């Protein structure tokens, strides 16, 4: 598991933004270690 996936999966809920691997925005359930915020990974150089 990579750094970004490892960070996201620790959230109770996380989102995946569209990119070359994921064609649409989705919400996913994670392992609820962290609560109250969201992360956007792989955002450098994107319009989002």
Domain that holds residue 28: 1-43
Q: In sequence order, which residues have a C-beta less than 8 Å from that of residue 2 and are 6 or more positions away? A: none
Residue 5 phi, psi (nearest 5):
-65, -40
For the segment 1-44, what is each residue's pLDDT rounded down to a tens digit?
677 888 899 999 999 888 888 899 999 999 999 888 888 887 77
Q: Cα separation of 31 and 10, whole Å?
A: 5
Q: Cα separation of 19 and 2, whole Å?
A: 17
Domains in the chain: how many in total? 1
Residue 4 belongs to a domain:
yes
Residue 48 belongs to a domain:
no
pTM above 0.75, yes or no: no
């Amino acid at each position: 598991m990579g750094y970004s996936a490892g960070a996201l999966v620790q959230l109770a809920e996380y989102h995946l933004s569209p990119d070359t691997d994921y064609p649409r925005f989705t919400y996913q359930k994670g392992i609820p270690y962290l609560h109250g915020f969201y992360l956007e990974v792989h955002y450098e150089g994107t319009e989002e």
